[in-house]
Chain A
Amino acid sequence: MRSIKYLLMILVILMTTSCVTLTGFPERSVNITKELELLQPYLAPEAITRYESKNIEDRKGLSQRAWRNEVVNARVREIDISFNQFQQQLFQEGVGSTLATDWTVLSLNMAGTLVSGNWPKYLSGASALTVGGKASFDKNAYFEKTMPALLATMVAKRKEVLVKIWDGLSKDIDDYSLNFALSDLDAYYCAGTILGAIIEVTETAGSTAKKADALLENLVIVTVLPKDIQIRCEKIAAFVKSLTPEQLDSLAKVMKVSTGENVMVDILTKVGTIETDGAVDAIAQKIKILFGKEF
């Protein structure tokens, strides 16, 4: 009995200590708290009032444009600091340690049951350890698989929004006011959240599906044609390819095909999707009227 207790204690100590040696993020020498304090004048709501002020001294002698840039850069930095802390938190409180913690709590419960000497609870304790451990593993395994993808999405989307912000900062305030910038800053912050990443992933999946649907809708399905129809169609196609752009436009109009850059492709598509003699006759007649050529 005593040996079981010792064994459990060793197990618990191992579980609580084994996952803390690797942090994944090196220590930084920058004092984040101090940095945030310095940024405070640009993060406070007064920064917006100062931007609107007609008195340049309210903006420490800076023009509206220069003040806008100072405010935006400070807020970008603040969001970056928060995002970095969030990333570290996700990593440190992520899969490795949560799994360890869950197992530890379950093991401690089990150990408590054993130490109290309440044997009828041993079996239920062991069962809780097994079932709970499995549930913990399932939950965290999903977390482990999903989180890197979500983090990658966050990083990519944040870069995209940041490029937009930087582009805006090169513009005059008439084209990119502080209010516009604040709205982009909100988007920048949201891009670095789990919810923002989920929305981005969902939207990307939706747009990919839409593109696929569009391809499917535009894909003309063709099958083998009877030889006589094919021969006539090939002759008409060869004639169409010999037409000048102006002639192609006139033919497109009578064939009710849109004129423009793809006019030849569109006319050929009409010819290439013919399935009956009647349809060949209809096109042949239009060509005869327009160009006097018989098919």
Chain B
Amino acid sequence: MPSKKLGTPGSQPLAVFETVVQQKEGIFGPLKSLGKYGKNNTFELEIGPSPNNRAELEEYASEEPPKKEGYTFICKGDCLVNSLDAKVAAYRKIE
């Protein structure tokens, strides 16, 4: 399955990062992975039908991302939130 990796500035708050990911899921397809490269966050999208429920991003402090009732876990990554290192998990609401 082809995919596309995009970047977005790591200086953004989590809500803006989330909106960017959701918008690009609407163009390319579902989110596959999260990460960072230099001063940017990176995210990879699988080329395919865009999901109805877009990915929701959350910061977590524990070793592993917590489970979320009514959501499926998509991926996790070491990212930047407001230019600071942060562990971010992505979830999708179950339809």
Verify if A271 is at the interface (C-beta below 8 Å from B): yes
Q: Does the CB pair A221–B4 fall under 8 Å?
A: no
Q: Which of B16, B19, B42, B50 contacts A234 (CB 8 A)?
A: B50
Q: Which of B21-29, B58-66, B67-75, B84-92 contacts A (4 or more CB under 8 A)?
A: B21-29
Q: How many residues of A contact B (CB 8 A)?
A: 22
Cβ contacts under 8 Å, A269 to chain B: 4
Instruction: Return B53 CB to nearest CB of chain A, in Å.
Output: 15
Cα A280 to Cα B89 in complex, Å, equals: 32
Q: Are A216 and B26 in contact (CB under 8 A)?
A: no
A241-B49 contact given A222-B20, A268-B27, CB 8 Å threshold: yes
B 37-56 binary contact with A (CB < 8 Å = 1; else 0) = 11010100001111000000
B7 x A220 contact (CB < 8 A): yes
Q: Mark A244-275, 1 if CB is under 8 A from B, else 0.
A: 00000000000000000010110011011000
Contact B19 A224 (CB under 8 A): yes
CB nearest to A227 among chain B residues: B23
A13 within 8 A of B: no
* Complex Cα gap A279–B37 (Å): 28
A237 touches B23 (CB 8 A): no
A264 to B37, alpha carbons, bound, how many Å?
25
User: Smallest Cβ distance from A213 to chain B, in angstroms?
Assistant: 11
**Which residues from chain A contact B9 at a C-beta distance below 8 Å?**
221, 223
A241–B49 Cα distance when bound, in Å, is 8
Q: In the complex, which residue of chain B has the Cβ closest to the Cβ of A272?
A: B27
B40 to chain A, nearest CB (A): 6
Answer whether residue A154 sits at the interface, using C-beta atoms and an 8 A cutoff.
no
Chain B contact residues (Cβ within 8 angstroms of A): what range? 20 to 34
Chain B residues lying within 8 Å of A215, measured Cβ to Cβ, are: 37
A268 with B4, Cβ < 8 A, contacts A219-B40, A222-B24, A224-B20 known: yes
Complex: A25 Cα to B38 Cα, angstroms: 45
Q: What's the minimum C-beta distance from B55 to chain A, rounded to whole angstroms?
A: 15
Residues of chain A within 8 A (CB-CB) of B28 are: 237, 268, 272
B8 at the interface (CB under 8 A from A): yes
Contact of A223 among B20, B38, B49, B50 (CB under 8 A): B20
Q: Which of B1-36 contact A (CB under 8 A)?
A: 2-9, 12, 16, 19-20, 23-24, 26-28
Instruction: Give Cα distance in the complex from A230 to B25, angstroms.
Output: 11
CB 8 Å contact bits of A195-233 with B (1 = contact, 0 = none): 000000000000000000001100111111100001001
Where the two chains meet, the residues of A that have a C-beta atom closer than 8 Å to any C-beta of B are 215-216, 219-225, 230, 233-234, 237-238, 241, 262, 264-265, 268-269, 271-272
Point out residues on B near A: beta carbons under 8 Å: 2-9, 12, 16, 19-20, 23-24, 26-28, 37-38, 40, 42, 47-50
Q: Can you spell out 18 A-B residue pairs with CB atoms less than 8 angstroms apart?
A: A215-B37, A219-B42, A222-B20, A223-B8, A223-B16, A223-B20, A224-B16, A224-B19, A225-B23, A237-B26, A238-B50, A241-B49, A264-B47, A265-B4, A265-B47, A268-B28, A271-B27, A272-B27
Other than the known A223-B16, A234-B27, A269-B4, what 13 A-B pairs have Cβ atoms closer than 8 Å? A219-B7, A219-B37, A219-B40, A221-B9, A223-B12, A224-B23, A230-B26, A233-B26, A233-B27, A234-B50, A265-B47, A272-B24, A272-B28
